[in-house]
């Protein structure tokens, strides 16, 4: 969430001012090297292939558990539907799928929280257990580099990772550049701010439950 202003006011204006349509085009212009562009795009394709493999297999596990569908059938079915929808609907269908996914994630998180509250017989028991296990110790400003996790390492690490994703990853940059103006991008990102805050907060509550 803290990275949105950084991406909005440092990264996106560069893409709009140069008129590029991809991160790789910017790298080509910046370093004047086709090799750098191809290396970056090849690395992204390799990473995305691994990521898509996991993303595709995860719902297949759920389908096999609930409906008994074979992995091969569900993988082919989900992949085919995704490819057809993307070809027919272009970028608009991909963005629509993102919206639907966000709504489903928010809804499922709410259901799990409600069910967890029911099973735990109220929020009081949940708070007691989490307090006893020190899971509500939010702020730890210890500068010891050998400590596994503290507030500073979490903020800095997550910020760098989020900036690399939202500011430099091709699928996000493509969405920014597809909008008509910088003002439209700013409106979209600021509208996305409360949604992301709610999603992260719900995930935290699910972890507590």
Contact, 179 vs 172, CB < 8 A? no
Name the more confident of 193 and 12.
12
Other CB atoms within a 10 A radius of the CB of residue 46 amount to 10
Predicted TM-score (pTM) of the model is 0.74
- How many C-alpha atoms does 141 have within 13 Å on its Cβ side? 0
CA torsion, ordered 66, 68, 73, 79, to nearest 10 deg: 10
Q: Which residues of 146-167 are buried (b: 16+ CB within 10 A; e: fewer)?
A: eeeeeeebeeeeeeeebbeebb
Question: Number of structural domains, the chain?
Answer: 1
Q: What is the pLDDT of residue 43?
A: 92
Mean pLDDT, the chain, as a whole number? Answer: 86
CA–CA–CA angle 39, 40, 45 (5° rounding): 100
What pLDDT digit, counting tens, does each position of 54-91 carry?
888 988 998 888 888 899 899 999 889 888 888 887 77
Give the rounded distance of the alpha carbon of 67 from its chain centre: 28
Domain range holding 99? Answer: 3-208
């Amino acid at each position: 969430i803290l990275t949105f202003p950084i991406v909005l006011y440092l990264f996106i204006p560069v893409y709009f001012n140069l008129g590029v349509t991809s991160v790789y085009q910017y790298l080509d212009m910046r370093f004047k090297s086709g090799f750098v562009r191809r290396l970056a795009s090849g690395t992204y394709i390799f990473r995305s292939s691994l990521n898509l493999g996991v993303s595709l297999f995860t719902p297949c596990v759920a389908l096999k558990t609930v409906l008994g569908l074979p992995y091969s059938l569900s993988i082919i079915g989900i992949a085919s539907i995704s490819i057809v929808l993307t070809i027919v609907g272009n970028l608009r269908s991909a963005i629509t799928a993102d919206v639907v996914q966000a709504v489903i994630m928010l809804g499922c998180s709410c259901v799990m929280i409600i069910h967890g509250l029911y099973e735990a017989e109220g929020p009081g028991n949940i708070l007691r257990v989490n307090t006893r296990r020190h899971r509500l110790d939010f702020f730890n400003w210890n500068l010891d580099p050998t400590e596994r996790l503290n507030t500073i390492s979490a903020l800095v690490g997550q910020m760098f990772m989020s900036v690399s994703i939202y500011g430099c990853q091709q699928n996000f940059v493509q969405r920014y550049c597809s909008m008509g103006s910088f003002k439209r991008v700013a409106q979209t990102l600021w509208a996305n701010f409360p949604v992301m805050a709610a999603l992260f907060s719900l995930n935290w509550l699910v972890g507590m439950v």
